[in-house]
Amino acid sequence: MEPEEYCQLISSSTPTRTAETIPIASAISRIAADDVIADAPIPAFATSAMDGFAFDESALNSAQTGVEVAVLGDIPAGAMPVDIAPGTAVRVMTGAQVPATAEVVVPVELTDAESTGPAPDRVQVSSLSKGLRAGWNIRAVGEDTLIGDTVIRAGETISSAGVGTLAMMGRETTRVQRPLTIGLIVTGDELRTDSTTCAHPFIHNSNLPMLSSAITNAGAIPVERSCGDDPEALAHIIDELGDCVDLIITTGGISAGAFEVVRQALSGDHSTFLRLAMRPGGPQGYGRRGDVPLLHFPGTPAGAFLSFHLFARSLIEASPLRSRWKKAVYAGPEVLGHDKAISLVPGRFNTAGEVESLNRSRLRDFSGADVIIRAPRGSGSIRGGDVIAVLDC
């Protein structure tokens, strides 16, 4: 089974999301829970798009014949508009509310006026074409956004432009998805988290800080646990976490050894274990204990890293793996396909915007990578100039 098909199989493990209301200043990188619909037009009143002079229709007619027009005053942005007496002009600044009778705004550069200093008493327009449309340089009510426009869609990640859009509409709070809480259990008697006790035959526990930070980076809240090779102890930790998390990820203990703690604790009643046609990260498992979905990743650090980016992120983002791959142009070197499995290889964008591969798939090779390259299975290979599938990581 290829990873996309497996992702489809585990999609029923996608945790249920609830929503919360938060201040817009905290909404960056959060996922919009609802469509945001404009309840007022933007701009809410007609404004000038230029620094210049607002003319009513008869003043414009005079100005187009070269006649000087009287200027009745100034409307800076943020000031109430001054009415235009028939046949006269007012000086307006970009963003200022224009008088209701304004026909056009003529930019200051097209007049004989200085751009700074007090407003002149009179203004003459140097050159103005005849067929000006009414509303020239005036931003009409709703020109940017109309009442009822969907400005942010449910499921979109709110960017800084999104925060600005919410602020532009006068929103102080917004509804976002509540972050998921994810239990992370790394397994293995050989693991030591405290480096002072990590003498032979123990090893440093890399999966715990790696996946905990990956969970945080994906916008979720990690709850960390470590477990030895005792299946009963693991079942106990899963039950304890089950009350307070939306998803549990385990690493290690799922392949073919004599002390496969995850497999022993869960296979049969709770979880299914299988080998995917992908390298690294082939051994995988999924299941449910009570209401809580379970994902089981291999213990090898590169396998755990890739499993997180392919599968955990698909569930967190509620987006199938098939639609998460992006296209890129490959720059080389040649990567040979494996007959039985797709290969996952670290890739980095070069200065030409194409992807180069590092050709080995150790965890340290992924640490400098921008993307995970998907090299298809089979006897072919990927070469410079090919269009390839990549996943950000």
Ligand X SMILES: Nc1nc2c(c(=O)[nH]1)N[C@H]1C(S)=C(S)[C@@H](COP(=O)(O)OP(=O)(O)OC[C@H]3O[C@@H](n4cnc5c(N)ncnc54)[C@H](O)[C@@H]3O)O[C@H]1N2
Provide the binding-site residues for ligand X, judged by CB under 6 A.
186, 188, 190-191, 203, 205-208, 251-257, 260, 282-283, 298-301, 303
Site string for ligand MOO, 179-198 (x = CB under 6 A): --------------------
Rounded distance between C-alpha atoms, residue 393 and residue 214, angstroms: 9
Shortest Å, Cβ 334 to ligand MOO: 21
Tokens 């032979």 label which residue? 200
Shortest Å, Cβ 310 to ligand X: 14
Rounded distance between C-alpha atoms, residue 21 and residue 5, angstroms: 35
214 contacts: CB under 8 Å, gap ≥ 6: 305, 308, 309, 312
8-state DSSP, 386 = -
> Which one of the spans 88-96, 211-219, 280-288, 385-393 is the region binding ligand MOO (CB under 6 A)?
280-288
Rounded distance between C-alpha atoms, residue 65 and residue 68, angstroms: 9
> Which one of the spans 46-54, 89-97, 212-220, 278-286 is the region binding ligand MOO (CB under 6 A)?
278-286
- And the tokens for 17? 């999301």
CA distances for 225 relative to 246, 253, 297, 316, 335, angstroms: 15, 15, 15, 20, 38
Q: Mind giving me the DSSP string for 15-48?
A: PP--EEEEEGGG-TTPBBSS-EE-SS-BSSS-EE
Restricting to residues 303-332, which ones interact with ligand MOO according to CB under 6 A? 303
For position 300 contacting ligand MOO by CB under 6 A, the verdict is yes
Bridge partners, 387 (sequence order): 329
For position 283 contacting ligand MOO by CB under 6 A, the verdict is yes
Shortest Å, Cβ 257 to ligand MOO: 13
- And the tokens for 200? 């032979």
Out of 91, 139, 225, 279, the only residue in the binding site for ligand MOO (CB under 6 A) is 279
Which residue, 231 or 303, has its beta carbon nearer to ligand X?
A: 303
260 makes contact, choosing from ligand X, ligand MOO, none, with CB < 5 to 8 Å by partner type, with ligand X
What stretches of 142-230 show up as alpha helix (H) in DSSP? Answer: 160-168, 207-217
Q: What are phi and psi of 383, to 5 degrees?
A: -130, 165
Shortest Å, Cβ 26 to ligand MOO: 38
Residue at shortest CB range from ligand MOO: 303
For position 298 contacting ligand MOO by CB under 6 A, the verdict is yes
Chain positions contacting ligand MOO, by CB under 6 A: 279-283, 298, 300, 303
